[in-house]
Chains A and B, each alone.
Chain A
C-alpha cells in the first residue's frame, strides 16, 4: 500500500525529512478551530512540528474543570479566552510561531467562504456537532481540506475530508442527541434517563427555575380541564402556585409537602389512568414517613457542617456532605435518596434563596446535581427502575463525556500527521484513524489500539456535498433578482421553474402556487440581489438553485464584482466550475442567449463552464446505483456502548 508519490520524490513517511516539505510546513497557513482538550494538544504539536502560521478560533473561556488536561492553562487563567491564553503559552516556548488567536464563534458571518479560502488546511478540535457541521460546509464551499477529530474517554478518531475526493463530515448520518417523548417522561418512564429528564427538566425547573417557563412536561395539562373553557394560562398558574412556598412554611415542611406531591399524590393520580397499565406494571407511591430515618441522626450530621465558619459559597453547598454520604459511586437506598431530596430542597431554600425562581440546572452545581439525582432515584423506585450512583447520574444529567488527556494528545498527534500528508500533496496516504479502548486484533493478526482505515469516496447521495457547486461573479448591488433569474438561472443554467434558497430567503415559481404565493414571490423580482431578505445575496453568499420541473440542483458561490469589461463579459457576470446540463427541452431557446451564453460544451468563449456527465449525475441522486464501499484496511471496532447509534464511526465529542 504505497501512497502515490510525485515522480521520483520520497514517499510517505520519508518525505517528512525533505527540505521542500519542511519549508511547506513552515509557510502553510492553517486554521485550528477549538482551543480546548484537543486544541491545546494540537497547538503544541503543530508548533513543535514546524508549523509557523496558525490561526486559532475558540469562543470559550477557561474553567477550573479544564485544568487537569488542557495543559496550556493555569489556575490564574480561569475566566480568560482559551484561544488567547493557548496562543500566548505556545509562543512562549516557540517564539518563531505566529499564532493569531480569536475569541469568537466560528459560526459568525465574518468567517465566510472567502475567509476560509485564505487557509491551506482547516483542523477541527471541536466539542459539538453543530459547529462541526458548519465548518464542514464552509470547507466544502471554499474547497479547503479539513482534518476532523473527536475524543470521548479512551475512544477517539481523526478523519480527512477533501471535497470530491473523500467523504465529507455529513456523508454518513450522525448520531444525534436523543430526545424522549413527553408521554414516557410524564407517565410511563422505564429507564433511568427518563427519570433524570423528569427530575432535571420538570421538577428542578418548577421548584427553582423561572415560573413562567411552561413546557409540555407540565401537568398544567391535567388541570386545564377543570374549567373546560377556562384559560390554560390560569390553570398553569394555579398548578404552579402549589410549588410556591407558603409564607411561614419552614423549608423542612415545604420539602415534605413537595415530596408527598410528586412521589405519592402524582403517582396515585397516574395509577388512576387505568388504560396506561393494561400492558405495563403500574408505579408504586412512596410515603415520606416510611423513609424517614431516626430523626436524631440526620439532625446531628447536619449540625456539624454548616453552622461553623462562614456561609459556604453557593456551588459548595452539598446535601451529601452534610449527611456524610461520601462515596459517589455507591447507589443510595430509597431512604438515603429521600433524605438527600429533602435536605437538598432545604439547603436550596435556606442558603440559596436568592436563586429560587431563576436557577438553571448546571452540572457543576453540586446541590443541583444531588437534588436531581435523589429525585430521579426516588422516581425510579416508584417505577421499579434500578437506582444509579451519584457519579452515574451526574454524568447522565450533565451529558458528561469523561475526557482523558492522553486520548486528546494521541488524536492531536494524528491530526498533525494527516495535516503533513496533505501539505505533502499525498492525499492517497491519508487515513481515517480510530482509537479504541482496548487492544484490537486486526485481520493482519497485529494487535493495535490505534487502527487506520482507508478513507471513503464521497457519498453521492450526501445532501451536503452531493450537490454540484459553481462560482458566480456578479455585481450584487446593481443586478436585480429578476435579471439574475433571467440571465443566470434560466438562460445559463436552463432552469425552468426555479426555487432559490439563500440562508433564510426562499423564492419559488410554478403553476401549483396559489395567487398569494405568486404575489409574495413576485415582490422580490425588482430588488437588487444584495437587498433581498435575510441579508441579501452578496459576496460569499451560498445560493441553492433547484428546478421544480426537473431533477436539477446546484449551489452557487457568489462573489461580488463591480468592474465589468463590456468586451470580455458582455453579460456582466461570470460562471465558473462544473455546471450540470439542463434538460434539452428547457424553455429558453439557446438562440436567444447569444453565442457566448450557451451552456453547451465546446463553446470556446465559454470554457469556464464545462459540462461533465458526473456533474449531471450528481444532480440526479435517484440515478446513482448503490455505491461500493472501499474495503477498510481493518475491520471496524465495535461501537462504544453509549455511542452506538453511529454507523461504523465512533462519533465522539470532545
Chain B
C-alpha cells in the first residue's frame, strides 16, 4: 500500500539513476507482462571494462532487494554458471560492498554497486573463491582463464 522505507528508497534510486547513468550500463526495475513493476528486482547490464579480456561483453545482472534494504544490501546475480572466481555457480556475486558485515553501507547507490561489480570483473579477488573453475584457472592456467573470459564476452556481446 503506502511505500515503505525500502520501496521509497528504490524509487529514489531509480530516479537518481535516470538522472545520472554511467555510459553503457542498464538498470531498470523488472516489468511483468501484466504491466506491473517490481521495484525489488532490477534487470541490469554491465559493460566489460575496456582494455581487458572482458571488453565487448554486456553482462546481464539481476539485482534483488528485500524489505530490509537499505540496511541489508541487494543480492546480485549474473546468469547461473557465470565464469568468474567470485561468482557462485548460482550466479550470486561475492563482493565486500555487497556484504553487510564488510563494506556495505546503506548510503551506497545502485550506480556504485554496478561500478563496483564492473571493477570486480577485471580485478577478481582470489582470496574469496566462490567457484572452483575460474578460481583454479586463474592461478594455475591464466591463459585458459583469459580464453574462457573472452569466450564469455563473445557470448554476451553488446
A residues adjacent to B (C-beta < 8 A): 109, 112-113, 130, 133-134, 137-138, 140-141, 170, 173-184, 214-216, 220-222, 224-225, 228, 232, 235, 273, 275-276, 278, 463-464, 499, 501, 503-506, 508, 510, 512-513, 517, 520, 523-524, 532-534, 542, 544, 546, 548, 555
How far, in Å, is A108 (CB) from chain B's closest CB? 11
A520 CA to B37 CA, complexed, in Å: 11
How far, in Å, is A177 (CB) from chain B's closest CB? 7
| Contact flag A225-B88 (CB < 8 Å), given A134-B1, A463-B5 | no
- B114 within 8 Å of A by Cβ? no
B94 touches A181 (CB 8 A): yes
- B130 within 8 Å of A by Cβ? yes
A214 touches B5 (CB 8 A): no
A513 CA to B14 CA, complexed, in Å: 12
What are 19 A-B contacts defined by CB distance under 8 Å? A109-B1, A133-B4, A133-B5, A176-B71, A181-B102, A216-B90, A216-B92, A221-B88, A221-B89, A224-B81, A224-B132, A225-B131, A225-B132, A228-B133, A504-B36, A506-B29, A506-B37, A533-B37, A546-B11
Within 8 A of A (CB), among B1-59: 1-5, 7-9, 11, 14-15, 18-19, 21, 28-29, 31-32, 34-39
Contact of B67 (CB < 8 Å), options: A130, A137, A184? A130
| Contact flag A510-B18 (CB < 8 Å), given A224-B81, A534-B36 | yes
- B126 within 8 Å of A by Cβ? yes
Which chain A residue has the least Cβ–Cβ distance from B1?
A542
B132 touches A176 (CB 8 A): no
| Contact flag A232-B127 (CB < 8 Å), given A176-B68, A463-B9 | no
Residues of A within 8 A of B38 (CB): 504
Which chain B residue has the least Cβ–Cβ distance from A645?
B71
A214 CA to B91 CA, complexed, in Å: 13
B132 touches A464 (CB 8 A): no
A276 touches B127 (CB 8 A): yes
A115 CA to B35 CA, complexed, in Å: 28
Residues of A within 8 A of B67 (CB): 130, 133
- B80 within 8 Å of A by Cβ? yes
Q: Mark B87-101, 1 if CB is under 8 A from A, else 0.
A: 011101010000111
- B119 within 8 Å of A by Cβ? no
A224 touches B2 (CB 8 A): no
- B113 within 8 Å of A by Cβ? no
Residues of B within 8 A of A232 (CB): 80-81, 89-90
B88 touches A216 (CB 8 A): yes
| Contact flag A520-B31 (CB < 8 Å), given A176-B68, A216-B92 | yes
Residues of B within 8 A of A548 (CB): 15, 18-19
A170 CA to B4 CA, complexed, in Å: 9
How far, in Å, is A169 (CB) from chain B's closest CB? 10
B130 touches A183 (CB 8 A): yes
Residues of A within 8 A of B39 (CB): 501, 504, 506
B residues adjacent to A (C-beta < 8 A): 1-5, 7-9, 11, 14-15, 18-19, 21, 28-29, 31-32, 34-39, 67-68, 71-72, 80-81, 88-90, 92, 94, 99-102, 106, 126-133, 136, 148
A22 CA to B130 CA, complexed, in Å: 66
Residues of A within 8 A of B11 (CB): 499, 501, 544, 546
Contact of B3 (CB < 8 Å), options: A112, A225, A501, A505? A501
Residues of B within 8 A of A112 (CB): 1
Contact of A464 (CB < 8 Å), options: B8, B14, B32, B129? B8
Residues of A within 8 A of B8 (CB): 463-464
How far, in Å, is B76 (CB) from chain A's closest CB? 12
A137 touches B128 (CB 8 A): no
How far, in Å, is A530 (CB) from chain B's closest CB? 14
Residues of B within 8 A of A113 (CB): 1
| Contact flag A181-B130 (CB < 8 Å), given A220-B89, A524-B35 | no
A512 CA to B19 CA, complexed, in Å: 8
B94 touches A173 (CB 8 A): no
| Contact flag A183-B94 (CB < 8 Å), given A232-B89, A275-B126 | yes
How far, in Å, is A520 (CB) from chain B's closest CB? 7
Residues of A within 8 A of B29 (CB): 506
| Contact flag A214-B127 (CB < 8 Å), given A176-B72, A179-B100, A503-B1 | no
Which chain A residue has the least Cβ–Cβ distance from B34?
A533
